[in-house]
Amino acid sequence: MAIDATGTPPHGIDGAEPSAPEIPDNWLDARSPHGGSWLDPGLNQSERRAGSQLPRWLSWRIRLLVLVALLGALGVFAVTRELARLPDLDATWRAGPQGRIELASSADPRLQQHDGRVLEAIVGKQTTLAPDASVLQRSSRWVIDDGLRAQSEAAKERLAALLAEPRLSLHFADGIVDDVAPRPRGLGGLPTLYWILAALGLALYMLGMIVVLAQPSWNNLLYAVMACCQAVNLLFMAIEGSLELTQPQTFIRLDMPVRMALDLLTAAAMVSAACRHPRRLPGGRWIMLAAWCAVAVLLGLAQMGWLPARWWWVQGSVSMLGVLSIGLLTWSYRIEPHPAALMLRRFGSVMAGTWLLLTAALAAADAWAPAPQNVAAIGSMIWYVSLASLLLLVPFLARSQLVMREFALLAAISTIATSLDLLFVAVFAFSQFASLTLALFISLAVYAGARQWILNQLLGSSMLTTERMFEQLYRIAREVEVRPERTPALLSQLLRDLFEPMEAKVVGRESAATRVASDGSTMLVPVPVLVGDAAAGSVMLRFAQHGRRLFTTEDARLTDRIVEQLRRAVAFDRAVEQGRTEERLRLAQDLHDDIGARLLTLMYKAQSPEMEDYVRHTLQDLKTLTRGLAKSDQRLSHAAAEWKADLTQRLTAAQVALVWSFNFDDDPPLSVVYWSALTRVLRELASNAIAHAQAERLEIVLVLAKGRLDVTVIDDGHGRDPAHWSHGLGLGGVRKRVKQLGGEVEWREAAPRGIACHVKVPLPSNLAPATQPR
């Protein structure tokens, strides 16, 4: 269970939708749940670059870490050495009919001739033992009945004493007797499973020590308790997996009480961790105290022999504490929708559910022996290894969600298969092969059918499509060129649509690359400098998908690729725009030098005043056009002044009065695309009022508010019923140009007469991608 080094003050529950708390700007300076510089090196690089000398507090922690590592390694070495020296018979045994044991196989030539025979007795110099199937039960932890457990432990102790003698007589069925000499197996005689489990346990122990020493806190201490308990559990299972008939007497006496204590301590630590992470719960101290007191009472009663049916008490207590942990995480998520709480609750539900299923299957199969005990050992080993693997991955939560998901699914399916195997054998009396085959088939069928739903529940999915992503990238690139200062806000909005965080804000902290906090709750995205040289800070996102999942390193890599594509889009668009600007300048220069000179000559040679005025107006239109082409962009106020002058000249010549009004709350720059389209729209509407409506008065109102330009053109002409107009080149061109700018246009009758045209165009701060009007 992930553990946070810092607590958050509790919030009340008032029935309102939960909201994310305020994000501190120095969130990356606060240590991660498991020590940032130890387990998430990307978050504290600046600290390591600050100097090569280790602080004194870090120096003694490293020394202590080396010490505990040596102690752990020495402990494993001592256990391994003891197992290698333990005398054993070079043979494999199996449970036979009527609870007797049979020789399955042997590498000893003297014993190979007895393969398949029932072992009646083992005779030594001082004692004799008639072994039954109970001596093959490698762990008394999974023997349900107290009486059977005591008999099994007594038989194992007598067998261990027998194997310590130099020679033994094995009495097989049909009166066959053979003498053998128990010999130490040596390191090479230990099975591969022993080394795997011992290595996994040592790694988990080391990680627990690293966590608590990297950042000492109560939270990390709880993680260390869980890690160390499960490390010892793995070591016990490694010992069990290496034994046949031989077992150390110390192990026989300690197996049940120690593993019982390990399971209860792990469950109590999980409850305490759920009370503290990802936030401290109201009344959490009393809940933790109650859990630890209950565990202490159970262990005390068991130690004094006052706890009958110990197996049931352990299984029930662990189940109740596991369910309590899930309930506490649910409560924590309702108070503060931290994705870690949701994810840990899901993984905890998988582990608790499979634990309950295994318990129920063992209880149902209790009357059938001895095969269920062997299957129970396999099922419990799968469960413990899965839990240990999840604990190994929890400190790297932001990097290991996919692996954790697969481990949780594997643990669930494997435990379900084992439990079904037990139930089929006990309830339906199937053979071992038939029950195992049917259990595997059902488990795989359930896994295949429910996999996608399970994956969605565990990690969720992003809803932003590729098409929308590219549309937004293009829009941002176009707008950033016009207003570079909006880059942080635009990038923040894009990341909101992509990850759906509960909170996103721009902070002044700079970062070289996208970084994810080690608990996966927060991601810091540097704002790229796309235009200009000013640094723009970073965008901080918290709680992906409204607190339903954690950020991962895959999210960080995806974000870096998106930012890189945005940078390329801006560079490409600027290059294209530069080419367009150069071409416009060339066209403007050619029009001015060639067509302008010809029109000027024609004006001086006009044969009538009317022709001279017409050519003069044409020359003025040409000047306006070339001036607009020569400028890459111009302010809206300047463009409005040109529009007013141009329309005044046209309407005055046609003896139409112009009423002009312009109100604006901003003065954004207009690119040639917008200037050209709006200029042609206004000219076309004025021409229609003159030529078709025969208006005497034309009112034009321009209003810019909240990034949208509203243009209203009202005439007092003879136009009627615009809904039934046939749109030719003129009105069709108006509609097309407005649509290309992402706007809307509407005609309706004005009172008392005339037509009103309303044009709504979003300007660059809110504009969808526009194309060059033709």
pLDDT at 358 over 50: yes
Which segment of 8-22, 62-76, 368-382 scores lowest on mean pLDDT?
8-22
Check residues 719 and 766 and name the one with the higher pLDDT.
719
| Entry pTM | 0.64
Percent of the chain with pLDDT over 70: 79
pLDDT, one tens digit per residue, over 470-495 is 777 777 777 777 778 888 888 888 88
Residue among 5, 38, 8 nearest 220 (CA): 5
Task: Provide the percentage of residues in the chain whose pLDDT is more than 90.
Answer: 19
Lowest mean pLDDT among 447-461, 539-553, 652-666, 707-721: 447-461
Q: Which helix (H) or strand (E) holds 577?
A: helix 553-590
* Whether 190 contacts 14, CB under 8 Å: no
Q: Give me the pLDDT at residue 295, please.
A: 95
Q: Is 138 helix (H, G, I), strand (E, B) or coil?
A: coil
Report whether the peptide linkage leading into residue 501 is cis, meaning its omega lies within 30 degrees of zero. Answer: no
| Cα–Cα nearest to 496, from 517, 476, 513, 511 | 476
> Quick one: tokens of 290?
């109650």
CA separation for the pair 407, 402 (Å, rounded): 9
pLDDT at 577 over 80: no
Count of residues for the chain? 774
The predicted-structure confidence for 689-723, as pLDDT tens digits, reads as follows 888 888 899 999 999 988 889 999 999 988 888 87
Give the Cα separation of 603 and 606 in Å (integer): 5
Q: Are 146 and 309 in contact (CB under 8 A)?
A: yes
pLDDT band at 449, cuts 50/70/90? low
* Residue 214 predicted with pLDDT over 90: no
Which is it for strands 91-95 and 87-88: parallel, antiparallel or unpaired?
unpaired
Please enumerate in sequence order all residues whose Cβ is within 8 A of that of 450, keeping only pairs 6 or more positions apart, or say none: none
Q: Provide the residue type at 440 as one letter.
A: L
pLDDT of residue 4: 37
Beta carbons of 137 and 380 less than 8 angstroms apart: no
* Distance of alpha carbon 230 from alpha carbon 392, whole angstroms: 10
Distance CA 484, CA 309 (A): 73
For the ranges 9-18, 165-174, 697-706, the lowest mean pLDDT is seen at 9-18
Predicted local distance difference test score (pLDDT) of residue 622: 76
Q: Does position 52 have pLDDT exceeding 60, yes or no?
A: no
d(CA 600, CA 615): 8
**Rounded CA separation 222/219 (Å):** 5
Distance CA 687, CA 693 (A): 9
Predicted confidence (pLDDT) at residue 9 exceeds the cutoff of 70:
no
**Amino acid at position 464, single letter:** L
Q: How many CA atoms are closer than 13 Å to the CA of 405, on its beta-carbon side?
A: 19
Q: Is the peptide bond before 752 cis (omega within 30 degrees of 0)?
A: yes
The larger pLDDT score, comparing residue 108 to residue 423, is at: 108
Please give the Cα distance from 592 to 394 (Å, whole number): 72
pLDDT at 629: 66
How far is the CA of 262 from the CAs of 255, 297, 377, 411, 642, in angstroms? 11, 14, 17, 20, 84
Please state, rounded to an integer, the average pLDDT across all residues of the chain. Answer: 79
**pLDDT for position 318:** 95
Instruction: State the pairing for strand pair 697-705/657-664.
Output: parallel
CB 230 within 8 A of CB 237: no
Alpha-carbon distance 485 to 615, whole Å?
A: 45
What distance in Å separates the CA atoms of residue 324 and residue 313, rounded to the nearest whole number?
A: 16
> What's the rounded mean pLDDT across residues 503-527?
83
Residue 239 has pLDDT above 70, yes or no: yes
| Tokens, residue 684 | 């076309």
DSSP letter for each residue of 63-103: HHHHHHHHHHHHHHHHHHHHHHHSEE-SEEEEE-GGG-EEE
Say what the pLDDT of residue 55 is: 56
- Rounded CA-CA distance 489/371 in Å is 65
What pLDDT, on a 0 to 100 scale, did the predictor assign at position 124?
86
Helix (H) / strand (E) containing 708: strand 708-715
pLDDT at 29 over 50: no
**Residue 659: predicted pLDDT:** 93
Which residues are CB-neighbours of 356 under 8 A, at least 6 positions away?
A: 319
* Residue 364 confidence (pLDDT): 75
pLDDT of residue 415 exceeding 80: no
Amino acid code (one letter) for 261:
A
d(CA 647, CA 658): 8
**pLDDT attached to residue 73:** 93
Residues 6+ apart with CB under 8 A from 442: 417, 420
Contact 180, 123 (CB under 8 A): no
Which one has a higher pLDDT value, 745 or 23? 745
Confidence class for position 323, pLDDT limits 50, 70, 90:
very high
User: 537: burial class by Cβ within 10 Å (0-12, 13-18, 19+)?
Assistant: middle
pLDDT greater than 70 at residue 57:
no
Gap between the Cα atoms of 355 and 320, Å rounded? 11
Query: Which residues sit opposite 647 in a β-bridge?
Result: none
What is the reported pLDDT for 44?
A: 39
> How many C-beta neighbours within 10 Å does residue 70 have?
10
- Phi/psi at 88 (nearest 5 deg)? -150, 160
- Cβ neighbors of 307 (< 8 A, separation 6 or more) are 298, 301, 313
Q: How far apart are CA 434 and CA 421, in angstroms?
A: 9
- CB-CB contact of 132 with 119 (8 Å): no
Question: Who has greater pLDDT, 371 or 124?
Answer: 124
Distance, in Å, from the CA atom of 388 to the CA atom of 234, rounded to the nearest integer, reads: 8
Give the chain's radius of gyration (CA, Å).
40
Q: Find the helix packing angle between 339-364 and 432-459, rounded to 10°.
A: 170
What is the three-class DSSP state of 748? strand
Q: CA 47 to CA 30: how far, in whole Å?
A: 12
What is the pLDDT confidence band of residue 325, given thresholds at 50, 70 and 90? Answer: very high
DSSP 245: S
List, as one string, the DSSP characters of 615-668: HHHHHHHHHHHHHHHH-SEEEHHHHHHHHHHHHHHHHHHTT-EEEEEEEES---
Choose the weakest-confidence range: 337-341, 566-570, 619-623: 619-623
Q: Which of 152-161, 363-372, 437-446 has the highest mean pLDDT?
A: 152-161
Render pLDDT for 551-564 as a digit per residue (tens, 0 to 9).
888 888 888 888 88
Cα distances (Å, whole numbers) of residue 555 to 315, 514, 525, 526, 658: 40, 9, 11, 14, 58
Termini Cα distance of the chain: 62
CA separation for the pair 309, 295 (Å, rounded): 16
pLDDT confidence of residue 200: 92
Q: Are 282 and 11 in contact (CB under 8 A)?
A: no
pLDDT of residue 45: 39
549 DSSP assignment: B
Q: Write down the H helix ranges in 97-190.
A: 109-112, 146-163
Asked whether 2 and 33 are in contact (CB, 8 A), the reply is: yes
Q: Which of 10-24, 490-504, 514-528, 693-707 has the lowest mean pLDDT?
A: 10-24
Beta strands in 128-232 (DSSP E): 128-129, 168-172, 177-180, 183-184
Q: Is 445 exposed, middle or buried (0-12, 13-18, 19+ CB in 10 A)?
A: exposed
Q: pLDDT-derived band of residue 21, with 50, 70 and 90 as boundaries?
A: very low
Q: Of 304-318, 461-475, 485-499, give the lowest mean pLDDT range.
A: 461-475
